[in-house]
A and B are shown apart, each in its own frame.
Chain A
Amino acid sequence: MRERLPILQLGCLLLIASPLLAKEPPPLAVGAKAFTESVTLAEIATLLGKASGVEMKPTTELGGTRVLWSALKSGEIDVYPEYTGTIREELFRGESLSDFDAIRKRLAEEGISMTDPLGFNNTYAIGVKRSLAEKLNLKTISDLKSHANLTYGFGNEFMDRADGWPSLKTTYGLNPAEIRGMEHALAYRALAADEIQVTDAYSTDPNIRQFNLQILQDDRFHFPRYDAIYLYRTELEQSHPQFVARLKEMSGKLSDEQMLALNQEVELGDKTSAVVAAQFVREAFRINVSVESGGLISRIWRTTLDHLFLVIISLFAAILIGVPAGVIAAKTKLPGQIILGAAEIVQTIPGLALLVFMGVIFIRIDLPSIGAFPVIVALFLYSLLPIIRNAMVGLNEIPASLQESATALGLNWSARLRLVELPLAAPLILAGIKTTAVINVGYAALGGLIGAGGYGQPIMTGLRLNSERLMLEGAIPAAFMALAVKLLFEKTERFVVPKGLRLQEE
């Protein structure tokens, strides 16, 4: 037990320091939604920033519109690509902003500005397999009405947003037999496997070609225009005028065809968004920019460090809080039940929900809502239950005769705890920590959703690009890390579990 203390202190120090580290004097950050087009547009903005001499953070991929919007308002990111339709229907729904000027005015109230449209209109579209369209003679969305037996599968965002399924259903009077919400990248696969027959797509989505979809005509003009623009913090006009000027120059530079071509190069070719963005900036602006894409090894090294950071900090914090909480849970009645109950409730919250929920709160209290910090907090919260429970069980399972001996010797409670009870409970406590660590290696992939890096990032990108190679780039090292963590803890047993107890097991 004693040998572990310095490491605990170090963990404590890192934990206290981590929010501070995250708040260093900020280079600018560009955010992106987790789909190719948004990432490519964000990479373009990042390159334009660099080209205007601004220090730029790597582009951050984040979960959804709300997360990006909050991050932009709170200054955690400075720029992100958005669509006018989303601003109207999602960010300011119910305010019926009629034209660009109305949108600009509304944004100004939030300290946000918008560039002119970049050129293309990436509106939502409803697609079915071409073969099915021919068989059922489907041409318009209205045609779906007479085929109620089809299964619909929509991306989660489309399921929720005001201009998505909720209103599409009413506009066309659709009432399908079955409807599923899923990660959008998975919807195409489900469609290919014929698990669903109808899905949503973006009009510049190269998957439309790859999966051979027939886009059904929006005969009732349900979907509003989705002109791409950049949103940026208005203060950049003062602090980084050159960068803003570059962003404004982007207006009209990308037609529907050009955007689809860029998307296709990333999704169906072998290039990253960054490489395609650099190519575009070179041609469109005649500035020489380059991106270092880094080799496989260096990429894995980077994600490994990020991933370890998430796992280690959260684990140490959980040990620091969880073991004492486990002692309280074992020694007291009511407080113990409250502690255990609270930890159990946290455990039942789905990972994504917890991240979003924390994001909302963290923004209010001025803590980082994206990046490593919220992921560490989430992992910490998830780790508490197994650690608390094992510590509690470990202490409760100490034979009464040994407790009695320790008490009868005349040791006070702290000496009993330190000299007798914790060492006797050590095997179970350590087992709890081991389980937690292994699970955390998996959970930390959540980091991919809110720009914390780690193995979640290639997995998310791989999912988005439908690239098994990228998914494996995250999944394989994650599996190895889980294994390594397990082995490490088995070695640690030697130092933490008293020798006398190890003899007993043999």
Chain B
Amino acid sequence: MLKLTGVTKSFGDKLVLHPTTIEFEQGKTSVLIGTSGCGKSTLLRLMIGLIAPNTGEVEFDNTPLSKDNLEQVRHRIGYMIQDGGLFPHLTVRRNVTLLASHLGWEREKVETRLHELLELVHLEADLLEKYPTQISGGQRQRVALMRALFLDPDVLLLDEPMGALDPIIRSNLQAELREIFRSLGKTVILVTHDIGEAAFLGDVIHVLQAGRILQTGTFTELVHQPQDPFVVEFINAQRSPVEDLQRRES
């Protein structure tokens, strides 16, 4: 569905992405994981053409991205940036339906889709007339997800969709997302720092370090056949308070 071939990216003389070839399969949820600044968001930006690669090629549905097809491709990709990126001057309703009404969707079609999505992400309809500043962080993330899903895109690019959420909401939303991804059969590429989240949601996990993909595989493969000490370190770095306690007590 989405394929990067020999892609590199540098900002100034700083190489942020080493030559990378990676393919994201139709209908799978792939997770990009790695430390802060390793190039996860950069990869997503390349895929939706917000930045252009220095070398190599990005293909969507077997067609290379170019100036001419960029807008069409973007309509088929739902992208949710790291902090949600909701427009503060628009109500929740306008934020979510902005693109559809710009593309000339009929009112009824818009309303139907809007209510489908509200149900999908478990939000109340009375939220629609509020502004982004008037709703909670978790609600904002869901609204951003609604916006990304509105045109029923083939691909979802989600950049830390659950940053800054409390653990309970986070865990609930993770469960909901897994449901949504499974039921819709979308190609999902999700960025996270959290190995637990990666294990829970990802069919495939790509571990990144300093602009390189170190290993690609399922969570089981990463645990049992790590190909780099960093992979082991990264998986073990996540604290589990309950295990910690048990270890201390024994």
Contacts and interface: CB of A to CB of B under 8 A. Distances in A.
B169 interface: no
A401 B74 contact: no
Given A419-B98, A504-B133, A410 B74 contact: yes
Interface stretch (B85-93, B179-187, B215-223): B85-93
B133 A401 contact: no
Interface string B73-93: 111010101110111111100
Interface string A383-405: 00000000000000000011011
A255 to B, nearest CB: 74
Given A401-B82, A405-B87, A501-B89, A415 B131 contact: no
Interface string B173-192: 00000000000000000000
A404 B74 CA distance: 12
A407 B74 CA distance: 9
B90 A411 contact: no
A402 to B, nearest CB: 6
Interface string A471-506: 000000000000000000000000000111101100
Contact of B88 (A409, A419, A504): A504
A24 B173 CA distance: 73
Contacts of B73: 410
User: Looking at chain B, what size class is its interface with the partner chain?
Assistant: 20 to 34
A239 interface: no
Nearest to B153: A410
Nearest to A426: B89
Contacts of B70: 410
Q: State which size class the interface on A falls in.
A: 20 to 34
B89 A407 contact: no
B157 to A, nearest CB: 8
Nearest to B72: A410
B104 to A, nearest CB: 12
A405 B79 CA distance: 8
A409 B90 contact: no
Contact of B79 (A408, A411, A420): A408
A289 B85 CA distance: 75
A406 B102 CA distance: 12
Contacts of B75: 410
Given A410-B74, A411-B102, A405 B133 contact: no
A435 B110 CA distance: 41
A410 B81 contact: no
A431 to B, nearest CB: 16
B45 to A, nearest CB: 8
A424 interface: yes
Given A500-B132, A501-B89, A408 B71 contact: no
B85 A405 contact: yes
A409 B89 contact: no
Contacts of A407: 50, 74
Contacts of B85: 401-402, 404-405
Contacts of B45: 404
B1 interface: no
A409 B78 CA distance: 7
B19 to A, nearest CB: 25
A419 to B, nearest CB: 6
A409 B131 contact: no
Interface string B183-225: 0000000000000000000000000000000000000000000
Contacts of B48: 408
B99 interface: yes
Given A408-B50, A412-B71, A419 B81 contact: no
A401 B99 contact: no
A453 interface: no
A85 interface: no
A86 B185 CA distance: 92
Contact of B99 (A404, A411, A500, A504): A411
A500 B74 contact: no
A326 interface: no
Contact of A409 (B72, B83, B98, B134): B98
Kindly name the residue among A406, A407, A410, A424 whose own CB sees the greatest number of chain B CB atoms within 10 A.
Answer: A410
Best-surrounded residue of B45, B87, B133 (most CB of chain A within 10 A) = B87
B74 A408 contact: yes
Interface in B124-152: 131-134, 147
Contacts of A409: 74, 79, 98-99, 147
Contacts of A359: none
B81 A408 contact: yes
B188 to A, nearest CB: 16
A504 B131 CA distance: 9
A406 to B, nearest CB: 8
Given A408-B48, A500-B91, 14 more contacts: A401-B85, A404-B45, A404-B50, A405-B87, A407-B50, A409-B79, A409-B98, A409-B147, A411-B102, A415-B102, A424-B88, A500-B131, A503-B131, A503-B134
Closest 8 interchain pairs by CB? A410-B74, A405-B85, A498-B89, A500-B131, A408-B79, A500-B89, A410-B75, A423-B89
22 contacts: A401-B82, A402-B85, A402-B88, A404-B45, A404-B50, A405-B81, A405-B86, A406-B87, A407-B50, A408-B48, A408-B74, A408-B79, A409-B79, A409-B99, A409-B147, A410-B75, A410-B99, A411-B99, A419-B102, A500-B131, A503-B131, A504-B133
